[in-house]
Amino acid sequence: MPTPQAPDFLRPALAPGLLGAVVLTVGAFLLDSSTFTVVRYVVAILALIMTVFAWRGRAWWAVVLLGAIAVLWNPVVVVPLSGQPWAAMQFAAAVVFIVAGVRTKVPNSEAGRGAGGGRPVTGGRR
């Protein structure tokens, strides 16, 4: 049985992208409540985390869109948006989170090292 090889790339933005999409979808129903501040914090933080992964994966379109989401959902300096356009933006941002999470590929630094991924064992203590 051959030794499994590490993949050439990773998708580190997938989990925060899916989580952000869930938070944005739930947040669309909480727009008029005080709990929406928590939604703003979570979305802004996840957008910034995904921006770092998109930068590392050279997905420049995702860097721009996720940066805009981080600014618009910023809970410290609130952008005064409300009504139907703001509700529609919740779902549009959820789509951006999912697409950026799926399309962002970061090169795997451990690819080609075998299943262990670490340094090759050379002499030393035993």
pLDDT band at 1 (very low <50, low <70, confident <90, very high): confident
Q: How far is 102 from 34, CA to CA, in rounded Å?
A: 32
Q: Which amino acid is at 15?
A: A
Per the confidence metrics, is the pTM higher than 0.85? Answer: no
What whole-number percentage of the chain has pLDDT above 70? 87
Q: Positive or negative CA dihedral for 97, 101, 106, 110? A: positive
pLDDT tens digit sequence for 73-110: 999 988 888 888 889 999 999 999 999 999 998 888 77
Nearest of 18, 24, 48, 21 to residue 38 by alpha carbon: 24
CA dihedral 20→25→29→33, nearest 10 degrees, is: 10
Does the pLDDT value for residue 116 go beyond 80? no
The neighbour count for residue 43, using CB atoms within 10 Å, is 26
Q: How far is 115 from 109, CA to CA, in rounded Å?
A: 13
Could you state, in order of their start, the residue ranges of all structural domains in the chain?
9-105
pLDDT tens digit sequence for 50-64: 999 999 999 999 999
